[in-house]
Amino acid sequence: MKIRPLLLTTLSAFALSAAFTLSARAAEARAEVGKPAPAFTLPGSDGKDHSLADSKGKVVVLEWTNPECPYVVKFYKPGEMQKLQKEITGKDVVWYRINSNAPGKQGSQTPEQLAAYDKSHNVAATASLADPESKVAREYGAKTTPHIFVINAEGTLVYAGGIDDKPTAKSGDIATAHNYLKAAVEETLAGKPVTTSVSKPYGCGVKYAGK
């Protein structure tokens, strides 16, 4: 006779917990291709704050990064990412590298550490940004390093996913890969719809704050 009340209490508690979890997730802004990209302001490696609003009227690339991730090293050690950054920013595109790994976790960098990395690795992005509370990562649903997002001049997210179609940590695979990022930027600049607007990101998991 006492089992039923206990069962109901347990189920009620579970239902409340589930409802709270769903509510909390719903409250989090999530970037979605075809919709306005979430606004943000973060401190940069250049000592300045950078906001998405600062780049109004320009195409913007967001690259989630972690200097210790082998999938990031894949592109930075041979200079391939820097080459791509130089090529794309040369077309008046804004490129932000974002480190959302929480302090104390693998790959976390302060703005000063980002600046040192930028210098030692000849990074050619517009700026590298620190997101220690993982706030912007949550808003965009960034999962991996790298995880790429492309925003058009109207502020609409037009691409989200992996940098290319070769999900390995081998630099030798870059030459034969189809680069989704480059293709998305070129099509967006040409006023065309992005052929592949969503793909599966690959790399190391973002080390979120609070987890």
Structure tokens at 141: 């649903």
Cβ neighbourhood burial of 197 (10 Å; 0-12, 13-18, 19+)? middle
Mean pLDDT for the stretch of residues 177-184: 98
Conformational region of residue 155, where left means phi above 0, alpha means psi within -120 to 50, and beta covers everything else: left
Residue 28: pLDDT band with limits 50, 70, 90:
low
Domain 31-205 = CATH 1.10.3720.10? no
Is the sign of the CA dihedral 119, 124, 125, 126 positive or negative? positive
* Tens digit of each residue's pLDDT (9 = 90 or more) over 55-104: 999 999 999 999 999 999 999 999 999 999 999 999 999 999 999 999 99
Conformational region of residue 57, where left means phi above 0, alpha means psi within -120 to 50, and beta covers everything else: left
DSSP tag of 42: E
| Residue boundaries of the structural domains of the chain | 1-29, 31-205
Q: With contact defined as beta carbons under 8 Å apart, do 37 and 149 qualify?
A: yes
CB proximity list for 166: less than 8 A, separation 6 or greater: 173, 174, 176, 177
Q: With contact defined as beta carbons under 8 Å apart, do 64 and 144 qualify?
A: yes
pLDDT at 211: 72
pLDDT at 23: 30
Q: With contact defined as beta carbons under 8 Å apart, do 21 and 135 qualify?
A: no
Neighbouring CB atoms inside 10 A of 91's CB total 11
The answer, yes or no, to whether residue 44 has pLDDT greater than 50, is yes
